[in-house]
Amino acid sequence: MITKNRRLAIILELVNIHSPSSQSKLLKLLHDRGFVITQTTLSRDIKQLKISKITDDNGNLIYTAPHQDTNYSSRFPVKDKQGTLSNRGFISIDFSHQLGVIKTRQGYANGFATEIKNHATSLITGVIADDDTVLIIPKEGVTRQEVLDKLVTIIPGIKRDEEFGVGHFKSKT
């Protein structure tokens, strides 16, 4: 008899290797490995393992195990080969007074927020992120231009979007 711990380990392995896009695909992979479980049991296991869905490089939602650092970082392309933040996932940035709002593809905002927090501490009081939006809160007296100048070093490819005016910037790609 296969123990629950063994089943959980196999689920993590399958998620990391195959990046399934649905529970039914993951369930089939488990059945192929000899596990006889129900969709309900798999749902509970996914919740227990804190497996979630993120957007891959092609815009498809896939399951990922956030505690598997090496694999998770390869599924979530935050840095390019030079070690700078990739603009993949970046959509735009708008300002309202001094606050900046970055829009990203689904699943990318937390990575951007972390990099901004780590590399702009002299300019930024804090950042708040959800799944596809980052709120940038500059320190008192810091201008939009100072924030943008710093963001360009962190997120290459930001350019002014003349169609939307002074405070709107978007990805060059």
The domain ranges of the chain are 4-75, 90-171
The model's pLDDT over 37-89, given as tens digits with 9 standing for 90+, comes to 999 999 999 999 888 888 776 777 888 876 443 333 333 334 444 444 555 67
Please compute the mean of the pLDDT values over residues 24-33 and round it to a whole number.
94
Alpha-carbon distance values, 124 to 43, 98, 100, 140 (Å) = 39, 11, 10, 9
pLDDT digits (tens, 9 = 90+) for 154-168: 877 676 555 444 445
Q: Is the distance from CB of 142 to CB of 121 less than 8 angstroms?
A: no
Burial environment of residue 4 by CB neighbours within 10 A (0 to 12, 13 to 18, 19 or more): exposed
Burial of 142-166, coded b for 16+ CB within 10 Å and e otherwise, reads bebeebbebbeebbbebeebeeeee
With pLDDT > 70 as the criterion, what percentage of the chain qualifies? 76
Provide the Cα torsion 146, 152, 155, 161; round to 10°.
100
Asked whether residue 94 carries a pLDDT value surpassing 70, the answer given is yes
CATH topology of domain 4-75: Arc Repressor Mutant, subunit A (1.10.10)
Distance CA 151, CA 158 (A): 8
**Mean of per-residue pLDDT scores for the chain:** 78
Burial grade of 26 (CB within 10 A; 0-12, 13-18, 19 or more): buried
What whole-number distance in Å separates Cα of residue 142 and Cα of residue 25?
A: 49
Q: What is the Cβ-side half-sphere exposure of residue 81, based on CA atoms within 13 angstroms?
A: 0
Calculate the CA 7 to chain-centre distance.
27
- Identify whether the C-beta of residue 14 lies closer than 8 Å to the C-beta of residue 25: no
User: For residue 32, what pLDDT band results from cuts at 50, 70 and 90?
Assistant: very high
Which CATH code is given to the segment(s) 90-171? 3.30.1360.40
The answer to whether 128 touches 113, Cβ cutoff 8 Å, is yes
Helix (H, G, I), strand (E, B) or coil at 13: helix
Percent of the chain with pLDDT over 90: 27
